[in-house]
Homo-oligomer: A and B are copies of this chain.
Amino acid sequence: MKLNKVVIFGVGLIGGSFALALRRAHAVAEVVGFGRSMATLEQAQQLGIIDRIGHDVAAEVNDADLVLLATPVGQMAELMARMAPHLGPHTLLTDGGSTKSDVVAAAYANLGDKAAQFVPAHPIAGAEQSGAAAALADLYSGKKVVLTPLPENSSDSIHRVRRAWELCGAVVSELTAAQHDEVFAAVSHLPHLLSFALVHDLARRDNRDVLLSFAASGFRDFTRIAASSPEMWRDICLANRDALLDELGGYMQELEIIHQALDEGDADKLQEIFSLARDVRSVWTPQ
């Protein structure tokens, strides 16, 4: 597959890496970038991420093969509304958002009957750095990308968007948007919330400097994700509120059980909980 023109909204880590990966695979002839910051766009052009800075959304999305929305999820609805009247009949649209039900709802609300051209995606790639300078041609190599196709998508559209992500080196799988949001509430959003909560709980105390001075490698790893962007995680948590509330509620019940076992000195119960966790965690490795 060779793409003549790819248009990217948001040329930071996610969007910039997508462009660099397609270039490395010789899978794209021209990349056009849009974004809120002219400085970032110019940097992306200097870094060889994009060929041109776009100025006219209507014209650029009309003859593009593929448009990637790599902005914060909160900006996607407005962008969809702006481009909807101008999307060419053969132009496909995908995104890089961490939540999917909300993006799908935005697509139905703003793309109208062109929602069929939108194949939602979530690339599971680290984001400790951000910005165009952090973009890497191999960010997606061997990483998972989850597509959450719409019933309106043609199999050919799904195939072409899948192929674009595969050309970036990704391992692509498919879930429904609801399944996606339930899975990521459990394995990503809840752990982030819990890590933020622990550090916040310590941070408010008068003796926090003493406490932190004795924290070691276990604390370091448990709280690494508490250094993530507050704005991004606020938005993710709110976008996936229902699934995350279910997960958080279930976890609070788990803590009630552990609190009771500890209070009663129930060694067997504690060991049962810790042992199942150890058994499962010690054989698991990330993709």
Residues of chain A at the chain B interface (Cβ within 8 Å): 124, 126, 144, 146, 183-184, 186-188, 190-204, 208, 210-231, 233-234, 237-238, 241, 244-245, 248-252, 254-256, 258-259, 262-263, 265, 267, 270-271, 273-282, 284-287
Interface centre among A226, A229, A284, A287 (most CB of B within 10 A): A284
The distance from the CB of A3 to the nearest CB of chain B, in whole angstroms, is: 27
Once the chains bind, are A214 and B251 in contact (CB under 8 Å)? no
Oligomeric state, in copies: 2
**Consensus secondary structure, chain A interface:** helix
Residue of B nearest to A194 (CB): B194
Once the chains bind, are B213 and A287 in contact (CB under 8 Å)? yes
Identify A270's interface contact among B184, B211, B237, B274, CB under 8 A: B237
The distance from the CB of A136 to the nearest CB of chain B, in whole angstroms, is: 15
Q: Which residues of B contact A194 (CB under 8 A)?
A: 194, 198, 222, 255
The distance from the CB of A129 to the nearest CB of chain B, in whole angstroms, is: 13
Identify A187's interface contact among B200, B214, B234, B241, CB under 8 A: B214
Docked CA distance A146–B214 (Å): 9
**Chain A to chain B: the 4 pairs with minimum beta-carbon distance, closest first:** A230-B274, A199-B277, A187-B215, A203-B280
Once the chains bind, are B187 and A286 in contact (CB under 8 Å)? no
Once the chains bind, are B216 and A126 in contact (CB under 8 Å)? yes
A–B Cβ pairs within 8 angstroms, 17 of them: A186-B211, A188-B219, A191-B198, A197-B258, A198-B251, A199-B276, A204-B276, A212-B280, A215-B284, A218-B224, A221-B225, A223-B281, A226-B277, A226-B281, A238-B267, A245-B259, A248-B262
Docked CA distance A278–B224 (Å): 9
Identify A216's interface contact among B256, B279, B282, B287, CB under 8 A: B287
Q: Assess A255 versus B259: contact at CB under 8 Å? Given A198-B190, A199-B277.
A: no
Identify A214's interface contact among B144, B191, B215, B222, CB under 8 A: B144
Q: Which residues of B contact A201 (CB under 8 A)?
A: 250-251, 254
Identify A274's interface contact among B196, B279, B287, CB under 8 A: B196
Docked CA distance A259–B248 (Å): 7
Once the chains bind, are B280 and A199 in contact (CB under 8 Å)? yes
The distance from the CB of A125 to the nearest CB of chain B, in whole angstroms, is: 8
| 4 more A-B residue pairs beyond the given contacts A191-B218, A220-B286, A230-B278, with a C-beta to C-beta distance below 8 A | A187-B219, A197-B273, A203-B277, A212-B284
Q: Which residues of B contact A285 (CB under 8 A)?
A: 220
Residue of B nearest to A261 (CB): B237
Once the chains bind, are B221 and A281 in contact (CB under 8 Å)? no
Docked CA distance A126–B241 (Å): 37
